Structure formats: C-alpha cells, structure tokens
Amino acid sequence: MNDQKTNGKNSEEPANPGRRKAILASGLGVAAAAGSTIGAVPSSMAETRRDMDGKTALITGGARGIGLASAEALAKAGANIILFDVAADLPGVNYPLSKESDLAAAQSAIEAHGVQCITYKGDVRDRGALSDAVAQAIGQFGSLDHVVVNAGVTQIGMIEYFSDEEVQTVIDINLTGAVRTVQAAVPVLRKQQSGGITIIASLLGRQGDEWFSIYSATKWAVIGLAKSTALMMGQHNVTCNAICPTVVKTDLMNNDYVLGAMSPQDPTWEGLEELMKHWRNPLPIGAYQPDDIGEVVRYFASDEARKITGEVFGVTAGLFARNTA
C-alpha cells in the first residue's frame, strides 16, 4: 500500500494560485513517487551479489511501486519473499490501489529471479494478519531476516478540508500500520538474534509541508519508530533504519489528481519532472524510479550494513542539504 493516496475533497476549498510553488518549494518529499539512480548506494551494490541466499524478506505494500522494487532487489540477491498487500481499494483513499492481479503479477516477477514468493492479501491495520504472514514465512522458509515497512498513503490539501475518515486512514495505515508491522516482526527477530527492519519514511519526515500535513506528521512519527526500534533491538543484533525518498515515480504520484495539483500548467509526469529538475532539485534530475529506492533497501538488508542502525538515509537529489541537521 505504499502506492496509496487520499486527498481532501471539498468544493469550498479556496483557489490558491501559489499552490504549485507552495508544493514544489517543499521538495515534494512524498515517499512513493520518482527518476534515475544517483549513486547514493555503495558501488559494491552496482553488481548484485546473491548474498541473501537462503534468507527471507517480508515487504508490506509489496504489489507495486517501491514495495515491489524492494522485493525484486532482495530477490535478485537470493532472498525468498513474502509480499503483503491490501490488493483492494479502501474507504478514505481516493485513488485506485493495487489489485489482486497486481499481487499475482508481482509474485511472477519475483519468482523469475529463481526464488520462492508467498503473497498475502492483508491490511497493515490488522495486527493478526501481519502476525499470520510472519508465521507463514517461518513455516515455509524457516526464518525472517528482513522486513520492509513500506505500506502507506498520502493526500494533498489544506488540513481543514479533510474528512475524519481521510485523516484517520492516513494515520492508521502510515503510522499504526508501521507499528503493527514492527510488533509482528520483533518477537521472531529477537528470538533469532539477527535480522533487520527498513522503514520507508519520506523527505517530509524531516521537514513540514502545508499541503501534505497529515502525511508529513506520520512520516516524522515513523522515523521516531525506526530510531526507537534500533535502540530496543540493537542488543539482539537486529538493525532498524529509515529511508527518506523525495519524489518517486509510482501510482501514488503519477495520477491525474496529483499531477493536476502539482503541475497545473502541464499536468503530465513529464511536466512535473521538468518543474522538479529546473526549479527545486540541487541535482538536475526530475525524480527517482522505484528501483533506485529498492537498491537502498537492498543495501540495508545486506551484510555490508550489519553494523548500521538507527540511521535516517535521504534519497533526495540533494534536498537534505537544505536541512539544518
């Protein structure tokens, strides 16, 4: 569900001719969105090694976007995969989510890398479903070695125009869903005395944004969750880190509603990329591709990162350079 978005819809919302500038000035730190590999990952990752043979990874929101790209990167390294995804539209989410056909296609893509893949149709708000998926991983593969906490939704608009359902949906999926994923995973990881967790946060987990207020609040919160989990699990040889992407080209961003709001003069993906490339990003790129984020996930799941925990890693085309810390 990392490719999920809600937006407050209210015909009384005032027109705002500065909306494009306001949104773009924020850096568009929506972690489900876009462009080219920037080389933030160590060069040793350029050629994928199968150093995860025999290991297992669970990815929430795994049917498409960053979740699927992360799963494929880990599968290329030899990991067996559990794809957990709601694979259905949800109340309070105002654009199409992944479907069961997406989940089936994702499974085929993973298995093409010569590994096994389990799919689990479930909602991250359901702790029981997550615990069951973890149990299936242990039952079939014998271990759970890495968890990618990726499921999430967003919205665009001024905070007063969102319905209670829209606000609660974002909080429940992005924050509560992340907490419940960690709750389901840590007993197994603690018992194993090994493993890792990667939480997909956002650039907006390190700065505010008037148009993505609820989303930003949840991403600040999951960074706190990542750091707290790192402190709790370090003594058990379990790592936890957060990744903060800016715009990544997924269905969350590449849809008529978002493009119309962000790039009204040219409401196409190409139009949005041009605005990002020539106005905001320190590096002259438009956006990232899901595979770019997947390679960072793959690094944090590798043995090379076994001594790294509690870190917040930006994939932002240089936008983190604007932060004060």
- Measured CA to CA, the distance from residue 172 to residue 228 in angstroms comes to 19
Give the active site residue among 120, 215, 288, 299.
Answer: 215
The terminus-to-terminus CA distance of the chain in angstroms comes to 30
CA–centroid distance for 199 within its chain = 7
Tell me if 300 sits within 8 A of 196, measured CB to CB.
yes
Numbers of helices and strands, H then E, in the chain: 10, 9
The H-or-E segment that residue 313 falls in is strand 312-315
Task: Determine whether 215 is an active site residue.
Answer: yes
CA dihedral 57, 58, 60, 65 (to 10 degrees): 30
Token pair of 252 as six digits: 């969350």
The H-or-E segment that residue 274 falls in is helix 269-275
Residues recognised as catalytic: 215
